[in-house]
Structure 1
């Protein structure tokens, strides 16, 4: 049985490893980008996901690349605590809750796929644009390539797994009437910087004022020689009031409010005034 997976993100790579663990060997992962590089910000891996990674023999590697989170706390924009609870093994779960840089996590999975399924198990510069079911069984997968010397191509698969992201061509082919994903108008700025440890070094802190929200957590368990650790942060701004029927995607993206809207927020030894400025090389996700 030939299995093709569209997308070499975390979902597609874990699917390939799980199929291999189930005894399937003819598994091929197709990735749109010409080269897989460690992009992204932080990933919060919940205990149930860590359990699956442990079953694949990868939990320790992911833990070593990131850190274990043991606490989650919610605060208002003044830093006053609303709610606090233990997380992962601190809450008597069998598995930890891990935080890791997405690019590092993906790189670990890429290496594992190539090691277990072969060096050619992942094909880059191969964007799945759709598929056609075949009368005799299986499907014909349609591919596009960025390289100018490679024309569009197609291949046969007995099974096609769609793990090709938010604007999935597999989903669009299956459900053409759904159209493109729609925004709810919320804008999120994400990034990674180095900061002093806060709240004991293993906490996820969520702050908000009803319109703005900040989520901050460390990506390393121990500070470097300079006393700083890698920290993931995400700042979101809820949509403004709009006319009935207005498409949220048409709302102009807010720019001037970030990072000034949260720069004076503090929560114990956590300060948000060292976030990078809004603009330049920062992208807002909508």
Structure 2
């Protein structure tokens, strides 16, 4: 049994697909399939059940996957310990990040990181869809808010507030809401899934979701922010999207006494990447830069 076969098997289980695992490992699909079959033959057990659409993992396969993952992590730790004096970020880093956040706050930081780490290359996709980190071959992704249950490792990078706001013109021409319940009388500008989930506010020590309605819904925060600046209605947006408009006076905050708890920005990555020097360096760099604030 070879370590490379363990790596191939773990990547295949993570991806649930020979093609995705092969792309991830930069190997041919046929080679990945043959090595997994050879591993099963050497162990004398069935690890995977193949069908036309995806792979299923047997009970023995799950047990072997957990052991293989621990072995690979131990090997990576040992390699890192032996090379700590010469370990430095290098190679290709594939990153997925939310569109608005990436354009406003991630984009200005990437150049400085690359300048400080000349042997790193970054392939970044900005999109508001939740990508399949393992299946689509990403090394890491940035996620905002509550994380779904996952085998991915999550590292907290920062927290930021959700801010209810409107334009000064809107506030001066209509009676501003004094409590979240009064939002029922105002046109609200909906960001993402808010039309379904409502807006969270802290009322009497508990977070409650207030049903809101309005003339606009968009999955891009800048669209909602600009509509609020134009005086169309009230918006509830992340601090990193509205910080500049609040500072310039184009927007004014509302319902500050009812602000809900901050939401969290995470870096997430597969378990087999936990010893990556490049991911660790980029994550630490972002954590330090975001700690300086969100003004834009």
TM-score (norm 2): 0.23
Larger radius of gyration: 2
Identify the structure with the greater strand proportion.
1
